[in-house]
């Protein structure tokens, strides 16, 4: 159901495509740095880690079809994706919670280069308030609402301990912020119309563990489960066609 709703709301771009656009953009920026002017769908797909049919379909949602025998013009595609993602304008971000992760995020080069401007750092710990980190002075969390209004913060990055995250989230939402990036290890409840994305730093490690295990010969205690079995040809075939 969600894809159909998103499709209407987002003028035809499926959520899964939206999630891949930043990956394409990262690959394209790498090409730009090496002064590559055009790229074939195969090359770009390989750089982004998807197959080229999926890449071409994703880009067709942006009205970008490339030129046969030439491929895609890197600079124009960077512009198209950036515009589609909303990166051609600046986004004002506040980082709440200035522990190690908050500090890492405050100094993260990948934010500024994508149009994310960190307007403020906030923390509840008096020992941290007043410290200067990456050129910003940490403000007390009491000043949260004031800072959101003053700087026009549109995205709140929550990097507090788990126990503090929902309270902070409620306050930023009450102040009119409708986008929240959550690094705290907790599921946040928000009213409709507010988008929350959660970053779990262990997910990529789990995917690595899967492959590492396979290299070592598969799960030691694996027993085929009734109805499961080794690589059932029907469904696997179907999923491959669907997800490749």
Contact 93, 119 (CB under 8 A): yes
What's the token pair of residue 241? 């066609």
Residue 1 or 127 having the CB closest to its own copies: 1
Q: Is 190 in the site for its own copies (CB under 8 A)?
A: no
| Stretch 11-40 residues interacting with its own copies (CB under 8 A) | 11-12, 14-19, 21-23, 25-26, 30
Contact 177, 148 (CB under 8 A): yes
User: Is 18 labelled a binding residue?
Assistant: no
Q: Is 99 in the site for its own copies (CB under 8 A)?
A: yes
Residue 18 or 164 having the CB closest to its own copies: 18
Binding marks (x or -) toward its own copies, 123..162, rule CB under 8 A?
A: -------------------------------xx-x-----
Residue 126 or 201 having the CB closest to its own copies: 201
Residue 99 or 142 having the CB closest to its own copies: 99
Three-class DSSP labels, the chain? CHHHHHHHHCCCCCHHHHHHHHHHHHHHHHHHHCCCCEECHHHHHHHHCCCHHHHHHHHHCCCCCCECCCEEEHHHHHHHHHHHHCCCCCEEEEEECCCHHHHHHHCCHHHHCCCEEEEEEEECCCCCCCCEECCEEEEEHHHHHHHHHHHCCCEEEECCCHHHHHHHHHHHHHCCCCEEEECCCCCCCCCCCCEEEECCCCHHHHHHHHHHHHHCCCCCCCCCCCCCCCCCHHHHHHHHHHHC
Q: Is 227 in the site for its own copies (CB under 8 A)?
A: yes
Q: Is 219 in the site for its own copies (CB under 8 A)?
A: yes
Q: Is 191 in the site for its own copies (CB under 8 A)?
A: no
- The correct pick among 57, 146, 152, 174 for binding its own copies (CB under 8 A) is 57
Q: Is 70 in the site for its own copies (CB under 8 A)?
A: no
User: Is 107 labelled a binding residue?
Assistant: no
Residue 92 or 171 having the CB closest to its own copies: 92
Segment near its own copies (CB under 8 A); pick from 2-10, 67-75, 119-127, 139-147: 2-10
Q: Is 93 in the site for its own copies (CB under 8 A)?
A: yes
Q: Is 2 in the site for its own copies (CB under 8 A)?
A: yes
């Amino acid at each position: 159901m969600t894809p159909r709703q998103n499709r209407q709301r987002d003028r035809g771009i499926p959520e899964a495509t939206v999630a891949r656009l930043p990956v394409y953009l990262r690959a394209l920026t790498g090409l730009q740095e090496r002064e590559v002017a055009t790229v074939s769908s195969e090359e770009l797909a390989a750089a982004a880690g998807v197959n080229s049919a999926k890449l071409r379909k994703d880009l067709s949602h942006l009205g970008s079809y490339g030129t046969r025998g030439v491929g895609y013009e890197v600079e124009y595609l960077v512009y198209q994706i950036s515009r589609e993602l909303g990166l051609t304008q600046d986004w004002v971000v506040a980082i709440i919670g200035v522990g190690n992760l908050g500090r890492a995020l405050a100094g993260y080069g990948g934010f500024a280069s994508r149009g994310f401007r960190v307007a403020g750092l906030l923390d509840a710990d008096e020992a941290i308030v007043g410290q200067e980190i990456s050129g910003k002075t940490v403000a007390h969390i009491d000043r949260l609402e004031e800072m959101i209004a003053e700087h026009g913060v549109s995205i709140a990055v929550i990097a507090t301990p788990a126990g503090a995250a929902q309270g902070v989230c409620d306050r930023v939402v009450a102040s009119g912020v409708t986008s929240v990036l959550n690094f705290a290890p907790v599921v946040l409840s928000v009213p409709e119309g507010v988008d929350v994305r959660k970053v779990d730093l262990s997910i990529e490690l789990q995917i690595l563990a899967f492959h590492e295990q396979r290299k070592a010969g598969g799960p030691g205690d694996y027993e085929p489960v009734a109805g499961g079995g080794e690589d059932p040809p029907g469904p696997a075939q179907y999923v491959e066609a669907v997800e490749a």
